[in-house]
């Protein structure tokens, strides 16, 4: 069974998103494109909300988001209860986001990461497992409100 991934970006992340979609499809992932669909100006919150809702509804197992710095789209996704979006710019950070934080959305800073490093982050994020244990207690404290 293939893993499904919802993916979204604003205009600044559009080109990187296209490359990641092609990469994932070539690896037999099911990719659900939540927009945007061109390089025309687009507001990152719209696509963060669509992607986060897709993950929360279990339409997809994970999400991937990107905007210029990654910050705005990350902040927006994390407003959704149950979403643990992690802004990653190295594969080591992506690994820790999965292992220790049980992150379910990978966020990439499109203007500050190479395609090579972005794809490493994607690979690691989708292959690493949550370690549980002491980390589970911390995860449970995130959604208190």
Catalytic residues: 67, 100
In the numeric block, the tokens 């902040």 are attached to 75
Residue 114 near residue 16, CB atoms below 8 Å: no
Distance (Å, whole) CA 85 – CA 77: 6
Residue 64 near residue 123, CB atoms below 8 Å: no
With residue 7 as reference, give the H or E element that holds it.
strand 4-9
Ranges of H-type helices in 27-90: 44-56, 71-77
With residue 31 as reference, give the H or E element that holds it.
strand 30-33
């Amino acid at each position: 069974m293939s893993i499904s991934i919802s993916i979204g970006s604003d205009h600044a992340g559009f080109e990187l998103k296209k490359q990641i979609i092609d990469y994932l499809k070539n690896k037999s992932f099911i990719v659900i494109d939540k927009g945007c669909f061109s390089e025309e100006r687009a507001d990152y919150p719209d696509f963060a909300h669509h992607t986060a809702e897709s993950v929360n509804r279990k339409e997809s197992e994970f999400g991937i988001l990107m905007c210029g710095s990654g910050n705005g789209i990350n902040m927006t996704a994390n407003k959704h209860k149950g979403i643990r979006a992690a802004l990653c710019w190295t594969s080591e950070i992506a690994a820790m986001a999965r292992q220790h934080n049980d992150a379910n959305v990978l966020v990439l800073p499109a203007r500050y990461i190479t395609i090579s490093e972005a794809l490493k982050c994607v690979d690691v994020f989708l292959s690493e497992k949550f370690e549980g244990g002491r980390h589970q207690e911390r995860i449970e404290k995130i959604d208190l409100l």
